[in-house]
A and B are shown apart, each in its own frame.
Chain A
Amino acid sequence: MLASLNARALVLSLVLLAVFLGLWEAASPKQNLSGELTEYELLMGGAEPKAAVPPPSAVIGKAWEELSNPFYDAGPNDKGIGIQIGYSLYRVLTGYFLAAALAIPIGFLIGMSPLMYKALDPFIQVLRPISPLAWMPLALFVIQDSQASAIFVIFICSIWPMLINTAFGVAGVRKDWVNVARTHELGAFKTAWIVILPAAAPTILTGMRISIGIAWLVIVAAEMLVGGTGIGYYVWNEWNNLDLTSVVFSILMIGLVGMLLDTAFAYCARLVQYQE
């Protein structure tokens, strides 16, 4: 019975999906073109009595169309979904790894030194709760470049979970293991490399996983503001086009990419996990 747990869960998931899509499809009003339209009606967007959320069949059709040619580029406002996601990933990963390069060493410092912890704690406590988008105007003014400003916003939002988790993980390394390093006369660098880093790695990876999740949440909003390219801009652009089918499709793509990012980091976390 236990072996079939996954299989049963899969069946249940599919049933739930089918029920959900069926209800959605049934709830969508049918489009019926009746008679001649006046010129005004044509200008106002066709014969639909009321704009409605597209049925799943339309979304699936759209997804097929988009995914069969994801990398086309037909001008500034008409790029394939692959290109848009590519831009977003580029911004997220750039900002994210810049943040990691800063947060992990500083987290180490804070975790190792109670003085640094006490000195830096007020800054962290004030800066951390600031919504990343609140930095946007300042970033645009200082950096004078919308692309770099979006990256900066990702940087600032992903730094905190990594910084705090690294500090927490480093400070929480078991005294016994630190004593092993001390009794073997390991220098500061070797202690960090042989003992502290592997001991704190699972906690650090947890922080990195939280950060990538937040970064992916924030990029959509940031791109809606800065415009030009990216999945966030795409959503907003399709909304302006009143193409709700594309909006629903891109929402699903955002979820899918977020899931893949999280899965990748979960896999990395398993690599550094150890059992006591």
Chain B
Amino acid sequence: MSTPFLSVQNLTKRFQAPKGGESLTVFENVNLGIEKGEFVCIIGHSGCGKSTILNILAGLDEPSDGAVIMNGKEVSGPSLDRGIVFQNYSLLPWLSALKNVTFAVQARYKSWSKKQVHDHSMKYLELVGLAGGAELRKPSQLSGGMRQRVSIARAFAIQPELLLLDEPFGALDALTRGSIQDELIRIWSGSDQTVFMITHDVDEAILLADRILLMTNGPYARVAESVQVEIERPRERANIIHHPDYYDIRNHLVEFLAKRSRELAGKQDGDTQAAPKIVRFGANAGAEISSETGGKPDARKRAVNNAD
């Protein structure tokens, strides 16, 4: 069993209560692994610490316990190896869309000439459909969808080893969200980018992800299950709903969010090293799993924890 590209080990986050009260444990003993080139989504209710996990992966936040290891090195502090797209775009409002990308590219490739930086930035802006003058506008003159496109272009343009997306489409309307999802999946397919994405949208997760991690409710949240999405690519929003596994996966996710995320919540007892339980559907449902995350094989079509 080789170590995965990204390995999260016993990650724990506690917030110290003011004046000697009991500290709040948001999540505890989160274990997960991500392979190079994988697209992983994480789903869970608000307050389970998804964003905190992502910030720790980004190096913007510190865990109380546990470690994140990427490429055999422990993550400490932010780095250009990990690009981030936030829900609120995080564009610098006094710079044009183009400049918002070029400063990042310049920071990544310090030896490049101005022309190289400009051409590289424009290439990615064109990939997300921003060209022909729109790239010279300030973020305030762009729609929410356009701003998020700039943010995505910036993240891909620095070609990080790991791309972190924190609910990138959360603030967008359904139509815009759909078209940017298509663009994201298209750009991702043309790269070997590893992606870790937070979402609240079950359909979005199935459309985009190779694997969906399910988090129980906090406090003491943890990653309980890892659902394999083995629907072949390229996927299209119009066709994916006709895939035989689609509704099995969807129902499983919805049921988890509606019911089991609450039932499984609370303190863990016993195995703190446990990797999330692996769940598969369709033809591979019964297959023996030699998991890179060390999960135990689960033979049932819908592997459901016995709690219910």
- List chain A positions with a Cβ less than 8 A from chain B: 176-177, 179-180, 182-186, 190, 194-195, 198-199, 201, 272, 274-276
Q: Is B260 an interface residue (CB 8 A)?
A: no
Q: A183-B82, A186-B107 in contact; A276/B140 too (CB < 8 A)? A: yes
Query: Chain B nearest CB: distance from A201 CB in Å?
Result: 8
Q: Given that A185-B78, A185-B80, A275-B140 are contacting pairs, would A180 and B60 also be in contact in the complex, using a CB cutoff of 8 Å?
A: no
CA distance A195 to B93 in the complex (A): 10
Contact between B93 and A276, CB atoms less than 8 A apart: yes
Residue B127, interface by CB 8 Å: no
Instruction: For A177, list chain B residues within 8 Å (CB).
Output: 90, 92
Given known pairs A274-B93, A276-B93, the reply for A183 and B140 (CB within 8 Å) is no
Cβ–Cβ contact B90 & A185, under 8 A: no
The interface size of chain B toward A, counting residues with CB under 8 Å, comes to 24
Supposing A179-B60, A274-B138, A275-B140 touch, asked if A184 and B92 sit within 8 A by C-beta, the answer is: no
* CB–CB B92/A183 < 8 A: no
Q: Which B residues are in CB contact (< 8 Å) with A182?
A: 59-60, 77-78
Closest to B55 in A: A179
B134 interfacial by beta-carbon distance below 8 Å:
no
Other than the known A183-B83, A275-B140, what 12 A-B pairs have Cβ atoms closer than 8 Å? A176-B86, A177-B92, A179-B60, A182-B77, A182-B78, A184-B103, A185-B80, A195-B92, A198-B92, A198-B95, A272-B94, A275-B93
B60 to chain A: closest residue by CB: A179
Report yes or no: A275 in contact with B80, Cβ–Cβ below 8 A.
no
Q: Is the CB of A183 within 8 A of B138?
A: no
Q: B93–A180 contact, CB under 8 A? A: no
CB within 8 Å of A: which residues of B?
Answer: 58-60, 77-80, 82-84, 86, 88, 90, 92-95, 103-104, 107-108, 138, 140, 158
Question: In whole angstroms, what is the CA distance A199 to B79 when docked?
Answer: 22
- How many residue pairs, one in A and one in B, have C-beta atoms under 8 Å apart? 55
In the complex, A24→B60 CA distance in Å? 68
**Distance in Å from the Cβ of A123 to the closest Cβ of chain B?**
31
Does B88 contact A183, Cβ atoms closer than 8 Å?
no
| Distance A201 CA – B95 CA, assembled complex (angstroms) | 13
**Least distance between B143 CB and chain A CB atoms (Å):** 14
- Check A185 against B92 for contact (C-beta < 8 Å): no
Are B58 and A183 closer than 8 Å at their CB atoms? yes
Residues of B within 8 A of A184 (CB): 80, 103-104, 107-108, 158
Who on chain B is nearest to A184 by CB? B107
Can you spell out 28 A-B residue pairs with CB atoms less than 8 angstroms apart? A176-B86, A176-B88, A176-B90, A180-B90, A180-B92, A182-B59, A183-B79, A183-B82, A184-B103, A184-B104, A184-B107, A184-B158, A185-B78, A185-B79, A185-B107, A190-B107, A194-B92, A194-B103, A198-B92, A198-B94, A198-B95, A199-B92, A199-B94, A201-B94, A272-B94, A274-B140, A276-B93, A276-B140
Which A residue sits closest to B107, measured CB to CB?
Answer: A184
In whole angstroms, how far apart are the Cα atoms of A206 and B59 in the complex?
35
- Taken together as a complex, chains A and B put the C-alpha atoms of A194 and B95 apart, in Å, by 9
